Amino acid sequence: MSEGYLSQDEIDALLQGTEEITDAKDLSSGGPLSTNEKDKFKSIIQSTVESQSSNISMITGKSVIIGAPNIDVRSKQQLLAELMNEVVEIKIDFTEGIVGEHSYLIEPEVATKLAGFIMGQTGVELNEAALSGVAEAISNIVGAIATTLGNQINQTVMISPPQCAKVKKGKIKFPPGDNLIKVAYPISIEGEKPATLIELFALSSVKEVVARSTGNGIATGQPVAAGSKRSGKGDVMSQGMSNIGGGDSGQGGDQSILDGLNSMMSSPNVQSVQLPNLQTSQASQEQSNIGLLMDVYMEMTVELGRTKKLIRDILGIGEGTIIELDKLAGEPVDILVNHKLIAKGEVVVIDENFGVRVTEIVSPLERMADLK
């Protein structure tokens, strides 16, 4: 406001019924996040764009290009005014390394398209199965971001399982605080019109990442006292100096210091290690040791066959779906102990239960080959 008149921003705020009238300066121009912090965080997020595009292209089977992010500080009221009435919200919080709430917002139309590509179907509805597909796609994007953030702070960053739902914008679970960080990515999917993917960070999480990535915070452990040493060399030096006699000042004290330094720099006393001879034949001892394991349970399974499916095929599985395996009818089934192949057999029926008759024991050479 100047000379008693309302600025255009303040007039717009009043017309929208906003409870708080912000200063004429938009929050994105500075405020809670300084220009340096904003630029630093943008460079971190920018470095993940290529990985994000690659991950989502792989899962959708379409060429997907995610453009340069636009980062702004937004109040919840500002963000609500910018959103359409309904959105698809995918919450994937940071749980370790960096702790804070984090989510994505997508237009329902774009989410439906993504789900259709992932499931390999057209005309899909945004039901539970489709939302699960969208959650999987976004989870792959967040994986790339979490890896980059972990590299920045030199610590593993873990994320929570995704929670995806179509909600009214008034029901969005925003990160805590009056202000939050909005990252808007232009996204272009092959054959579709351009859209926008919105990512929301808690302001505290962004500040923590920026501080720790620039060395303004300590990633792990206790604060280091001024002048203290963390490295092994520092410990050795301290120990060596403690061996130097105090002595009186003068030539005697100087000689004591020289003796101490010489002792620290002298060659270490290296001795060869005498190892006992290995016995090549201990059959009787090994036989007795096997007796210790006779009552240990091991998991035995019979494997009918295997196959590989795309995620879009797995998400499309329902009652009545037939899954083709890699074994021919009548072929021997595999018998595994702790997931290691030891024998082959044929399926039989014992009373009312299935069983397997062993027809072949896998040779030790074949078992050893599987270990490679």
Domain identity same for 135 and 38:
yes
DSSP element (H, E) containing 259? helix 251-265
Domain identity same for 208 and 304:
no
Q: How many CA atoms lie within 13 A of 203 on its CB side?
A: 17
Digits of tens for pLDDT over the chain (372 positions)?
A: 444 455 555 555 555 544 443 433 343 334 588 889 999 999 999 999 988 888 888 888 888 899 999 999 999 999 999 998 999 999 999 999 989 999 999 999 999 988 888 888 788 888 888 898 888 889 888 888 988 898 888 888 999 999 999 999 889 988 888 889 999 999 998 888 999 999 999 999 999 999 988 654 444 433 333 334 444 444 444 444 444 444 444 455 556 566 655 655 555 666 666 665 555 445 455 555 666 777 788 888 998 888 888 888 888 888 888 888 888 888 899 998 888 888 999 988 888 888 899 999 887 767 666 655
Q: Which of 157, 185, 213 is the last residue of a domain?
A: 213
Per-residue H/E/C for 112-169: HHHHHHHHCCCCCCCCHHHHHHHHHHHHHHHHHHHHHHHHHHCCCCEECCCEEEEEEH
Amino acid 289: pLDDT: 65
Q: How many secondary structure helices (H) and strands (E) does the chain include? A: 12, 13
Domain that holds residue 360: 298-317+324-371
Look at residue 278 and tell me if it is in a domain.
no
Domain identity same for 73 and 205:
yes
134: left (phi over 0), alpha (psi -120 to 50) or beta: alpha
Asked if 126 and 90 touch (Cβ cutoff 8 Å), the reply is no
Asked if 203 and 72 touch (Cβ cutoff 8 Å), the reply is no
Q: How far apart are the first and last CA of the chain?
A: 74
Q: Which of 175, 191, 213 is the last residue of a domain?
A: 213
Domain count for the chain, please give it: 2
Domain identity same for 206 and 348:
no
Amino acid 184: pLDDT: 94
Asked if 343 and 360 touch (Cβ cutoff 8 Å), the reply is yes
Domain identity same for 206 and 346:
no
Amino acid 285: pLDDT: 54
Amino acid 45: pLDDT: 92
**DSSP labels, 290-317:** HGGGTT----EEEE-------HHHHHT-
Look at residue 39 and tell me if it is in a domain.
yes
Look at residue 361 and tell me if it is in a domain.
yes
Q: Which of 190, 213, 236 is the last residue of a domain?
A: 213
Look at residue 144 and tell me if it is in a domain.
yes
What residues contact 188, with CB distance under 8 A and at least 6 apart?
64, 65, 67, 194, 195
Task: Note the pTM of the prediction, 2 decimals.
Answer: 0.53
Amino acid 338: pLDDT: 82
Look at residue 226 and tell me if it is in a domain.
no
Domain identity same for 187 and 309:
no
CA distances from 349 to 255, 333, 337, 353, 354 (A): 92, 14, 21, 6, 5
Q: Which two tokens stand for residue 186?
A: 């232009």
Look at residue 183 and tell me if it is in a domain.
yes
Asked if 24 and 5 touch (Cβ cutoff 8 Å), the reply is no
Domain identity same for 50 and 193:
yes
Amino acid 316: pLDDT: 83
Look at residue 182 and tell me if it is in a domain.
yes
Look at residue 54 and tell me if it is in a domain.
yes
Domain identity same for 54 and 188:
yes
